A and B are shown apart, each in its own frame.
Chain A
Amino acid sequence: MKKTLLPISLFTLALLAGCGSQPPAPEQDGAGVESRNPNAVSSTSPIGTSSTDPYALAALKDPKSPLSKRSIYFDLDSYVVKGEYQALLDHHARFLAKNTQMKMLIQGNADERGSREYNLSLGQKRAEAVKKALQLLGVNEAQLESVSLGEEKPVCMEASDSCWAQNRRGDMLYSGEF
């Protein structure tokens, strides 16, 4: 029972988070502000708080971590996860295995051409393919949820081959990001 309720509650959270007058904007880092504190300049001791574990929670926010890469790109009409993404998926699988409280929402997308409904199904298949690949790498299914956005949420808006290639995509989002 708990298992079936979970996705609904996640969507409810998403619904609440999406309220207000604007469509949800992607999270952005704030702009840096120069420090004017002279003590900050002279401090040389290393910051010993970050873990060396590459699959610690903090690694999710580290732009140098392979976990910062969240997108799997697909060929036209295809929902086959290409071999080149195996290493990336392996990193995410390890992270999920280590952080069992974390959940992942996989959003499948399609480029704008052709049938909207077929593209919705294609996006679902792409999200499912990423989910299955992660399960094969040992991830517990209860941590994974796949949804499709079809062709409705393109990241690139031009009508060009390179743009369409960016929109044929599966995105991996972690708890707190969706």
Chain B
Amino acid sequence: MKKLISYLSAGILFISAASASLAQLSIEITGAGAQRLPIAIADFAGERVVSQALTSVIRSDLERSGRFQLVDPGTAPMNENIAPNFIDWKSRGADALAAGSLSATPDGRYETRFRLYDTQTQAAIAGQALAHNSNQLRATAHRIADTIYEKLTGERGIFSTRIAYVVKSAGRYELQIADADGNGAQSALASREPIISPAWSPNGGKIAYVSFEAKKPIIYVHDLASGRRHVAANFKGSNSAPAWSPDGRKLAVVLTKDGASQLYLVNADGSGVTRLATSAGIDTEPQFSPDGAFIYFTSDRGGSPQIYRLPVAGGSAQRITFDGSYNVTPRLSPDGKNLAFVTRDGGRFRVAVMDLASRQVQILTDTAKDESPSFAPNGRMILFATEVGGRGVLAAVSVDGRVKQRLSVQAADVREPAWGPFSK
């Protein structure tokens, strides 16, 4: 018993959601979109250090998206209530301009206000007032960047979303949750054994993952706010590849309890296991289509690993990929129109995307060891794991292949990324 306790305390460390991690993801932009909208984000009026911290986050969010070209706003702070000199901003090349202010409120908090202007029509096209604490500066900046992004591109911004990934360093594995820009990483779980396949619940409150901490793969469901978790699948053999149903009530999982890897459905609380499909070979990596009608998965039933889909209501599996001898890890875009996957071509493993209507495939990356693609909740970018200089890094690529970013942690391997949903 004493041994067991020492194992639990030494081997598995639960770290409270409040504790920040030392390992920081840093982002490098390695490619940008072809048509970028020129925008100026003026320094907001108010306490200079605080407002500059805020506006720098807004700027880097917009720049990182690959959709904007930042125009130098100069150093003069600009209040949202003063009419801008539109002729001047147009001559500087800015099609859009944001200005704002940040002020301390009597209750010790802050209020940040901003306006977004179209310099062509000389009109304010968006505005917002946000109350926040001093430690919510980055979150406030992400909210403002989301508003600007949505107003100017017509699609929702992802700057307030979070990502999950696994960091491996010297015999230690950590499941970390960070902001979409890699900041504010927190550790949800640390273990001496591998952690793989994190999957966000549709409402973003839980993560299902596979942990080898009991010397075999077991699926857990982990509540992020409380840090509490429960076993969702621990059958004889291995339990892996959890995928949430769109209503968040069930998990498609891969079990070997009846032999080789096969697809099953379990309730998220671990009850009521039923078999989804039967094949003589390997069936794995299930993922629900966003409408819940299909489960896409990887199978070698045709002689090589390829992507298939199965109607959840019953019926036979349909093969989706045909080119090449290795197409794995199907991941549907949030609108269900695109399928991201990993394809092997001459020994290189790269992220590809298929337009499901035309079945046309485009290879998006020029790296060689890509794994685990994961769509941003607005469907614009795909986050994936790859290797650079022998080290595991995360990278992101836009669905058109133009915008490219790399996220790495100093002196550690980063892998198994999963992009979380929009916050409600």
Binding site for B on A (CB under 8 A): 4, 7-8, 11, 14-16, 18-23, 77, 113-118, 120-122, 124-125, 128, 146-148, 150, 152, 159
Q: A118 — which chain B residues lie within 8 A by C-beta?
A: 282, 284-285, 298, 305, 328-329
Q: Which 6 A-B pairs have the closest CB atoms?
A: A19-B7, A121-B261, A115-B328, A121-B282, A152-B194, A14-B215
Most buried by A among B193, B196, B215, B369: B215
B260 with A121: CB separation less than 8 A: yes
Give Cα A117 to B238, complex, Å: 11
Give Cα A7 to B7, complex, Å: 20
Additional pairs, 6, CB under 8 Å, beyond known A117-B284, A125-B260: A16-B3, A115-B328, A116-B197, A116-B416, A118-B328, A148-B256
Which listed residue (A16, A148, A159) contacts B238, Cβ 8 A? Answer: A148
- Nearest Cβ distance between residue A152 and chain B, in whole angstroms? 4
Which listed residue (B216, B236, B325) contacts A4, Cβ 8 A? Answer: B236
**Known contacts A7-B236, A19-B4, A77-B305; is A117 also within 8 Å of B285 by CB?**
yes
B298 with A115: CB separation less than 8 A: yes
B304 with A77: CB separation less than 8 A: yes
- Nearest Cβ distance between residue A15 and chain B, in whole angstroms? 6
Q: B415 — which chain A residues lie within 8 A by C-beta?
A: 116
B390 with A124: CB separation less than 8 A: no
- The reply to whether the CB of B326 lies closer than 8 angstroms to some CB of chain A is yes
Would you give 16 A-B contacts (Cβ < 8 Å), ordered by A?
A7-B236, A11-B216, A15-B214, A18-B215, A19-B3, A19-B6, A77-B304, A77-B325, A114-B349, A116-B197, A117-B285, A121-B240, A124-B256, A147-B238, A152-B196, A159-B390
Closest B residue to A121 by beta carbon equals B261
Closest B residue to A152 by beta carbon equals B194
- Nearest Cβ distance between residue B252 and chain A, in whole angstroms? 12
B240 with A114: CB separation less than 8 A: no
Give Cα A124 to B215, complex, Å: 14
A121 with B326: CB separation less than 8 A: no
Q: B371 — which chain A residues lie within 8 A by C-beta?
A: 114-116
Q: A124 — which chain B residues lie within 8 A by C-beta?
A: 237-238, 256, 260-261, 282
Q: B4 — which chain A residues lie within 8 A by C-beta?
A: 16, 19
**Known contacts A14-B215, A21-B10; is A120 also within 8 Å of B284 by CB?**
yes
Q: B90 — which chain A residues lie within 8 A by C-beta?
A: none
Give Cα A43 to B193, complex, Å: 49
Give Cα A61 to B236, complex, Å: 30
Give Cα A7 to B239, complex, Å: 14
Most buried by B among A22, A114, A118, A152: A118
Q: A8 — which chain B residues lie within 8 A by C-beta?
A: 236
Q: B305 — which chain A residues lie within 8 A by C-beta?
A: 77, 115, 118
A117 with B10: CB separation less than 8 A: no
Give Cα A150 to B238, complex, Å: 10
- Nearest Cβ distance between residue A14 and chain B, in whole angstroms? 5
Most buried by B among A21, A115, A124, A148: A115
B194 with A19: CB separation less than 8 A: no
